[in-house]
Structure 1
């Protein structure tokens, strides 16, 4: 069992840190809103700290799951940053979806301080975090990954190393690119079924058993048909991720025409007031009037 720190107690980080504590690890948490950290400690029995540096002090592993590039820099760097509290040989594991550029920047800073660095973005949504069933895609030195993987297993369904630092973030981009196209196609299919006067439930029962079937279809068709969009990853965050994907595509010379188009569709849903709706709300632009 390891002494760990967890930085960031959002809808993903809060249950992930809880799984670490439940698995027997010694966990100290940090959150910008201190009351959330105290609430977590009261619920799970771990410790809480006033700064990332204090939380990371003496920890063998420091996990982070925050919002974006700037949030990640703020918990890593500076006098109160986690890197200042971590001892040589400790490993920093970043579960945030961020740009490959900030990953390389922080990995270099960690290396200079004698700290291991694993970029380990996650997929599976809030339900996956709560149930300890996340897919974790990792990049980093093999030795750092080998040490961190048994700790990550507390909340993972699958945890794999894809390559050196940055490979985890690039793999998460593949994940978001695939989801964007899938959800748009599913939205069009369900909206078409509604317009054609078909029973959506019966349609899905049949087509989900064939080549059209997907996790999104099985798990989201009912709420999409009902116009309920409070069940997953918010559009505001998806657009952040798709922006990262499109920037990376320019960097590596990849073409993402469908992703770019779906990003604009998500922008339309934001304009309808749906920024906090989950990603399945793409169907709303086909079935609702703006306003």
Structure 2
């Protein structure tokens, strides 16, 4: 599999380490980032040991020889712009994999555009945050064709602890919306519990140590309760990003007729955090609006 030529477009906090795992696994990796200095920094870090890495100043140059092109950019408009440039040069039989959290509509649009070019497409948003990307422990939700997934899955496994094909194009993005809906509700519940405990005069760290062993346990409780109690939020998955993701979910809910009352409420709570200047704070900063 390491004979495959892969490209990675977008070297943000997620893409940078994800592309690095591919290089460390022995793949020939060509990277592109809008800020070329970031791409050069990536190459400096991962070209050790004779790794076959390359930096491209254009999307086209990065993609023209690739068997698989991975991308992790910002939003629907970024996805469309970058994918359009990639498809101008991608060879028939290659596969475009989008790790961006975006809408199901853009996934279906790109699936059709890729099919016209005899290129495969998978929408494959990830969960696990920066730490998951750095440790190669991401969860990947995938939509698309099974034969394309079977070809790409062993490559993604270098930065994922689990990936799963969930259905036709767009299914990966819909699953990621469910993921974010769950997280929003859990974080708000945890924030309210900690706020309640503090007002009641309890040692909340001790309480969390107890209740995290029971039915209340969650990833958020295990990984965020202590930092919430210490008022530390300058890290992690930013509120601005979460609001983008929740906006996508709420828009999809309007289309399919589902009711997301709690999600809409928590989205407004995150708007309150933004007004406090916390747009780049971790999502666990919901606690700040209760103080």
Quickly name the TM-score band, shorter chain normalised: over 0.9
Name the counterpart of 1:44: 46
| Alignment correspondent of 2:23 | 21
> Deviations 1:226-246 (Å, cap 9, x if unpaired)?
111123110001000000000
For residue 143 of structure 1, the aligned residue among 147, 150, 155 is: 147
Does residue 194 in structure 1 map to residue 195 in structure 2? no
C-alpha separation in 2, matches of 1:169 and 1:183: 21
> Per-residue deviation at 1:196?
1.0
Question: 2 CA distance for matches of 1:175 and 1:12?
Answer: 17
Aligned residues: 284
Q: Note the 1:147-158 alignment, pairs <5 A.
A: 147-158=151-162
> Is the counterpart of residue 89 in structure 1 residue 96 in structure 2?
no
Question: What is the distance in 2 between the residues matched to 1:284 and 1:109?
Answer: 44
Give the C-alpha shift of residue 42 in structure 1.
1.3
CA distance in 1, matches of 2:67, 2:221: 41
1:117 maps onto 2:121 in alignment? yes
Per-residue displacement from partner, 1:81-119 (whole Å, max 9, x unpaired)?
A: 111121000000000000111111111111101100000
Please give the secondary structure, in 1, of the residue aligned with 2:277. Answer: coil
Shift of 1:254: 0.7
The Cα of 1:57 is off from its aligned counterpart by 1.1
- SS where residue 85 of structure 1 aligns? coil
TM-score normalised over the length of structure 2: 0.97
Q: TM-score, normalised by structure 1?
A: 0.97
Does 2:8 align with 1:6? yes
Matched residue, 1:33 = 35
The structure 1 segments of at least 4 consecutive aligned residues displaced by more than 4 Å after TM superposition are none
Distance 2:267 2:9 in 1: 29
How far apart, CA to CA, are the structure 2 residues paired with 1:32 and 1:59?
19
Residue ranges of structure 1 left out of the alignment (5+ in a row): none
Q: Say whether 1:236 aligns with 2:243.
A: no
State the Cα RMSD in Å.
0.7
Which residue of the partner structure matches residue 50 of structure 2?
none
Rounded to whole Å, the distance in 2 between the matches of 1:70 and 1:255 is 27
CA distance in 2, matches of 1:88, 1:97: 26
The SS at the match of 1:197 is: coil
